[in-house]
Amino acid sequence: MQDLNGNEDTDASGVPPRRRGRTSTSAPAVIRSGRETLSVELAQTLFRHMVRTRALEERSIKMSKSGEAFFWIGGPGEEAFNVCLGMQIHKGQGPAFDYLHLHYRNAGIMLAMGMPMIDHTRQLAMRWTDPHSKGRNFVGHYCIPEWNVVPVTSVIEVQYSMAPGTALMQKRHGGEGITVVVGGEAGSAEGDFETCLNWSTRPGQELPVLIVVTNNNWGISTDMRTVHAKHSIAERAIPFGMRAEVVDGNDPIATWHAIDRAMRYCRRERKPFLLEAHVSRLHGHSSSSGAQRNWAEVDTIAQFEQKLIDAGAIDAAGVKQVREAAKAEADDAVVKTMAEDQPTREDVEAFTYAPSGVDAIYPEDYTGLPGRK
């Protein structure tokens, strides 16, 4: 297949992958992976969002190398899992809806939920128009109160110890809202991960937390096999009596159904579930490690594209159209972003504090409230 710049991908032998479709003229009703299926319409939607996510990530890497941005980190190779998760979130504000505690590789979740690409590039380029942090944080550090997206932090895996808090509120509130927390397998070595397992499984006080571990086998430059005696993170659920599952996160069909099963369990039983997804890391850890393409890793988009072509759900012209539209969307977002203002010294404390009664007592003190200078 081609990358988003029109270059032909090759496998390890240097031979371009095959591209053939069904000989039958009839369109399929479903796309299969083993015994599981998705409708053609859903599969095509997943593919489009996966390609959009890859286009955004590849353009973001270019920004970091061209001087349009200072640092990139993201999740090329995790598009299938992230998009499947984002499309199944019950989006809204408050305990009746799902809470998200994400990390910095989840652009696909946000795009699938409806975030425009430009809100990602604004943060990457550190623009005042960045809706997540006003240009004051790393890329991928999302924050959308209207969607229950809790601020992403650079401190590794503290989101795991925060997740039981929102889940406890949801348990008391009632309804079907759940808390979803996402991190990597390297971060599961942190005590915060054990805190989440412990607090979400206390007898009689179990919490509706979907605990996700995206396992790409690397913690920056550390091979997980040198750290974890057990290579299955999902097995960590056993001592806590928690249900768990492992899924091939590069297979969108298997991933969709695994997430659906886990979410249904959390919503119905109001108990936690640990889901481990094996994913690829196509461009290393971040721009700090060069962000070069690793051609030895499985490319989830290439696999799914070929599956759709073989099934007759899309043809080469359709693939080209999806790719060109995604690339144009990403390019347009960057052009608009680079024309916008950056933060200034004068507004460095803006949005630092929330309103409080102290403001009336000390009206002359600057508190960093929105709109205050």
Residues 244-283 have pLDDT tens digits of: 999 999 999 999 999 999 999 999 999 999 999 999 999 9
Q: Decide if pLDDT at 198 tops 60.
A: yes
Which is more confidently placed, 208 or 23?
208
pLDDT of residue 221: 84
Element (H or E) spanning 325, and its range?
Answer: helix 316-338
Q: How confident is the model at residue 12 (pLDDT cuts 50, 70, 90)?
A: very low
pLDDT of residue 10: 52
Which residues are CB-neighbours of 139 under 8 A, at least 6 positions away?
60, 69, 71, 72, 73, 74, 104, 120, 123, 124
Residue with the two structure tokens 């696999």? 303
pLDDT of residue 71: 92
The residues with which 7 forms a beta bridge, in sequence order, are none
The H-assigned helical ranges of 34-93 are 40-66, 79-87
Handedness of CA 286, 288, 292, 298 (dihedral sign): negative
Q: What are the chain's domains?
A: 30-342 (3.40.50.970)
What's the CA gap between 3 and 12, in Å, rounded?
16
**Backbone φ and ψ of 246, nearest 5°:** -115, 135
Over residues 15-42, the mean pLDDT reads 76
Over residues 58-80, the mean pLDDT reads 95
pLDDT of residue 373: 45
What's the CA gap between 126 and 70, in Å, rounded?
9
Report which listed range, 4-8, 185-189, 305-309, is most confident: 305-309
What's the CA gap between 181 and 51, in Å, rounded?
24
pTM: 0.88
The H-assigned helical ranges of 88-214 are 107-113, 117-124, 158-173, 191-199
What would you measure as the largest C-alpha separation in the chain, in angstroms?
Answer: 77
What's the CA gap between 53 and 81, in Å, rounded?
12
